[in-house]
Amino acid sequence: MAKNFDVVVIGAGPGGYIAAIRAAQLGLQTACIDEWQTADGKPAPGGTCTNVGCIPSKALLQSSENYEHAGHTFAEHGIQVKGLSLDLAQMLRRKDKVVRQNNEGILYLFKKNKIAFFHGRGSFAGGKAGAWDVKVEGKTPGTLTARHVVIATGSNPRALPGAAFDNKLVLDNAGALEITEVPKKLGVIGAGVIGLEMGSVWRRLGAEVTVLEALPAFLGAVDEQVAKEAQKIFVRQGLAIHTGVKVGKVSAGKDVTVEYADSAGKAQKLNVDRLIVSIGRVPNTDGLNAAGVDLKLDERGFVDVDANCRTNLPNVWAVGDVVRGPMLAHKAEEEGVAVAQRIAGQHGHVDFNTVPWVIYTSPEIAWVGKTEQQLKAQGVQYRAGSFPFMANGRARALGDTTGFVKFLADAGTDRILGVHIIGPMASELIAEAVVAMEFGAAAEDIALICHAHPSLSEAMKEAALAVDNRTLNL
Ligand code: FAD
Ligand code: NAI
C-alpha cells in the first residue's frame, strides 16, 4: 500500500472520517488512522459519536422511551399490555448492534472511496511543511508521509477531581451506556446534555435519579423560557434536580457517596448505587506527539486553530472536538468537509451562527441562533412569537402536546435571530429554522410558506405568525 499521501487524517470520528471522504471525493490520495477497537480487537471507526456517544445514546433513548410508552401511554390508545417486562441485556445488545452497523458502514465508505485505513495510533514523527511524517503504531505499523495532516482526535470525558472513573461505580459516558442492571438509585453530576439524556434513559427503566448541578440556573445556555419549562417537566417525570450545589468528596466502595453543599450552603450526602459524572469534556491530544513538532495548543489544551481550522504548522489542520467551538458531531463534520475543500484549493464554508443544538430528552429540546437573554444582553430589539403544541392537531393525535415553538425576529427587519423548540420531534423541526436562518429569512417568510396539515411543522408556521400577533389556531 502507498505510504505517500496528499492527506493523512488522524482520527475517524465524524470530523475525521467525513474529512477523509470529502478529500477522496476531490481526488486526493487519502489515508485515515484510527485506534478505536471493539472488545475483540476489530477496528471501530466512528469515534466517540458512533461508539460511546450520539448513536448508542440515541439507541437507548429510543428503547427506553418505547418501554415507557408501553408501560404508561399505550393504555390511553386502547392498547393493553399485560406482563410487560424489561430485557435489559437485549436492549444493550440492540444498542451494540446499531453501533456495529455504523462502524461497518464507515469501513465500507472508506473502501468505496479508496481511502487507506490504518487501524492504530497516529502520531507526528517529524517532517516539514508539505512532507509530514506520521507514525502508525498498531496492527499495521509504519510511517506515512503526508502533504497535509488533519488532526481529528476528539475529546475525552472530564473527571471530577478525586473521583477517577472506574466504569463500575463512577461512570463516564461509556460506562453510562453499559450498566447491566438498572440501578435502584443513580446519581448524576452535571445537568448538561449527557446528564439529562442518560438520566432520562435510566429513569425510564426504573432508576431513582438525582442530578447535582453546580450552576444556579438549570440549562443556563438554553433560552430561559425553554429551560424553565424543561425543568418543570423533568421534575414532574421524576428526575430530582438540585442546582447551585458544590460537590465535595466522592467515596466509592460497595456503593457511592457524594458529599455536597446544597444551594443554601448546607452539607448534604447523596448515596447511590452508581454515579454518572458528566461535567463536560476535554480535548484529546494524547499520544499525538504535539510537542515534538511544536504544534500549538491553547491554554485549555485545544489545538489552536484560526477560523479556517489551520494550526500554527503549515499544511496541518484540526477539526471537531479537539478545537474550539461546540462539541457536536455535525459541527465536526462541517469543519471536516470545509478543510478537505480548502486543501483542494476550494472554498470551505462553516456558519457557526446556524449550528443547531438538540437535547434528546422527552420532550426534545432544540434551538438555533440567539436566546432571548443573549439578545437582551446585546441590546438587540426583537419581537418574539410562540405557539404551544397543545394547539397543534398532530401533537394531539400523537398524544404529546408538551412544549412550544418560539421564534425571535429582529424588530426592524423581521430577520429570524433564533428559534427555540421544546416538544415532540424538536430535533427534526429545527432543520426548517436552520435553513431559514441560513438563507437570511424573515419570520414572515415562514409564515407565508404552506405547511402540511396535520403536522408538527404547523407549529413552526404558527409561531412565525405569532411574531406579528397573527396566529390562526390560538
Ligand atoms: P471523536 O468522535 O471523539 O473521534 C476521535 C477519534 O480519534 C476516536 O475514534 C479516537 O479513537 C481517535 N483518535 C484519537 N487520537 C488518536 C490517535 N493519536 N491516533 C489514532 N486515532 C486517534 N453530538 C451530537 O452532535 N449529537 C449527539 O446526539 C451527541 N450525543 C453525544 C452523546 C454522548 C454520550 C457523548 C459523549 C457525545 C455526544 N455528542 C453528540 C458529541 C459528539 O460525539 C462529538 O462532538 C463528536 O464525536 C466529535 O467528533 P470528532 O471527530 O471531533 O471526535
Ligand atoms: P455539558 O457541558 O453539556 O454539561 C456539563 C454540566 O456539568 C454543566 O451544566 C456544568 O455546569 C456542570 N458541572 C461542571 N462541573 C461541575 C461540578 N463540579 N459539579 C456539578 N456540576 C458541574 O457536558 P456533558 O453533559 O458532559 O457533555 C459534553 C458535551 O458532549 C456536550 O457539551 C455536548 O457538546 C456533547 N453532547 C451532545 C449531545 C447532543 O448533541 N445531544 C449529547 C451529549 C453530549
303 lines ligand 1 (CB under 6 A): no
Task: Please state the φ and ψ torsions of residue 464, each to the nearest 5 degrees.
Answer: -65, -40
List for the chain the helix, strand, coil content (%; round to 5): 35, 25, 40
Give the per-residue pLDDT at 181. Answer: 98
Q: Ligand 2, from 189, 197, 250, 279: best to mutate by most atoms within 8 Å of Cβ? A: 279
**What percentage of residues in the chain have a pLDDT greater than 90?**
98
pLDDT above 90: residue 2? no
Give the per-residue pLDDT at 130. Answer: 87
As a whole number, mean pLDDT of residues 325-329 equals: 98
As a whole number, mean pLDDT of residues 105-111 equals: 98
As a whole number, mean pLDDT of residues 310-333 equals: 98
Give the per-residue pLDDT at 450. Answer: 98
CB of 444 within 8 A of CB of 468?
yes
List all residues 6 or more positions away from 264 whose beta carbon is below 8 Å from its beta carbon.
Answer: none
The bound ligand whose nearest atom lies closest to the alpha carbon of 364 is 2
Give the per-residue pLDDT at 444. Answer: 98
Give the per-residue pLDDT at 55. Answer: 98
List all residues 6 or more positions away from 100 whose beta carbon is below 8 Å from its beta carbon.
Answer: 38
User: 3-state class of 302 per DSSP?
Assistant: coil
pLDDT above 80: residue 60? yes
Q: Whose CA is nearest to atom 11 of ligand 1?
A: 36
Task: Please state the φ and ψ torsions of residue 126, each to the nearest 5 degrees.
Answer: 120, -150
287 lines ligand 1 (CB under 6 A): yes
Write out the three cell numbers for 32: 485515515
Q: Are strands 246-252 and 256-261 parallel, antiparallel or unpaired?
A: antiparallel
Residue 277 CA, ligand 2 centroid: distance in Å: 9
191 lines ligand 2 (CB under 6 A): yes
453 as an active site residue: the answer is yes
Residue 15 CA, ligand 1 centroid: distance in Å: 8
As a whole number, mean pLDDT of residues 272-298 equals: 97
Q: Ligand 1, from 10, 49, 55: best to mutate by most atoms within 8 Å of Cβ? A: 49
152 lines ligand 1 (CB under 6 A): yes
Residue 198 CA, ligand 2 centroid: distance in Å: 11
As a whole number, mean pLDDT of residues 124-153 equals: 94
Respond yes or no on whether the N-terminal peptide bond of residue 183 is cis (omega within 30° of 0): no
List all residues 6 or more positions away from 348 whose beta carbon is below 8 Å from its beta carbon.
Answer: 308, 309, 337, 338, 339, 340, 341, 342
The bound ligand whose nearest atom lies closest to the alpha carbon of 197 is 2
Give the per-residue pLDDT at 129. Answer: 86
Please state whether the predicted TM-score (pTM) of the whole model is above 0.95.
yes
121 lines ligand 1 (CB under 6 A): yes
The bound ligand whose nearest atom lies closest to the alpha carbon of 328 is 1
Q: Nearest Cα to 339, choosing from 4, 112, 11? A: 11
Instruction: Please name the helix (run of DSSP H) or strand (run of DSSP E) that holds residue 334, with its range, or none.
Output: helix 329-343
CB of 213 within 8 A of CB of 301?
no
* Residue 165, CA distances (Å) to 60, 161, 470 in order: 21, 10, 53
53 lines ligand 1 (CB under 6 A): yes
What count of residues does the chain have?
474
The bound ligand whose nearest atom lies closest to the alpha carbon of 58 is 1
Residue 97 CA, ligand 1 centroid: distance in Å: 19
- Other CB atoms within 10 Å distance of the CB of residue 88: 16
* Residue 345, CA distances (Å) to 17, 64, 324, 338, 340 in order: 20, 47, 24, 11, 9
Nearest atom (ligand 2) to Cα of 328: 34
pLDDT above 60: residue 339? yes
Q: Which of 119, 242, 420, 453 is catalytic?
A: 453
Tens digit of pLDDT for each residue in 224-253?
999 999 999 999 999 999 999 999 999 999
Nearest atom (ligand 2) to Cα of 212: 20
325 lines ligand 2 (CB under 6 A): no
Report which residue type is found at 394: R
pLDDT band at 140 (very low <50, low <70, confident <90, very high): confident
d(CA 67, CA 84): 9
Write the DSSP assignment of 193-256 as a string of letters: HHHHHHHHHHHHTT-EEEEE-SSSSTTTTS-HHHHHHHHHHHHHHT-EEE-S-EEEEEEESSSE
215 lines ligand 2 (CB under 6 A): yes
Give the per-residue pLDDT at 189. Answer: 98
**What percentage of residues in the chain have a pLDDT greater than 70?**
100
Give the per-residue pLDDT at 139. Answer: 83
Write out the three cell numbers for 186: 443513580
As a whole number, mean pLDDT of residues 354-358 equals: 98
334 lines ligand 1 (CB under 6 A): no
Residue 190 CA, ligand 2 centroid: distance in Å: 6
99 lines ligand 1 (CB under 6 A): no
Give the per-residue pLDDT at 176. Answer: 98
Residue 185 CA, ligand 2 centroid: distance in Å: 21
Residue 305 CA, ligand 2 centroid: distance in Å: 23
Give the per-residue pLDDT at 45. Answer: 98
Strand segments, DSSP code E, in 232-349 are: 240-242, 246-252, 256-261, 267-272, 274-277, 281-283, 316-318
Residue 424 CA, ligand 2 centroid: distance in Å: 23
List all residues 6 or more positions away from 56 whose beta carbon is below 8 Å from its beta carbon.
Answer: 95, 96, 98, 99, 177
197 lines ligand 2 (CB under 6 A): yes
Q: Whose CA is nearest to atom 23 of ligand 2?
A: 280
User: 3-state class of 103 per DSSP?
Assistant: helix
278 lines ligand 2 (CB under 6 A): yes
The bound ligand whose nearest atom lies closest to the alpha carbon of 261 is 2
Task: Please state the φ and ψ torsions of residue 99, each to the nearest 5 degrees.
Answer: -60, -50
Give the per-residue pLDDT at 90. Answer: 98
pLDDT above 80: residue 1? no
pLDDT band at 63 (very low <50, low <70, confident <90, very high): very high
As a whole number, mean pLDDT of residues 357-382 equals: 98
Give the per-residue pLDDT at 385. Answer: 98
Whose grid coordinates read 430577520?
Answer: 415
Whose grid coordinates read 458528566?
Answer: 278
Give the per-residue pLDDT at 102. Answer: 98
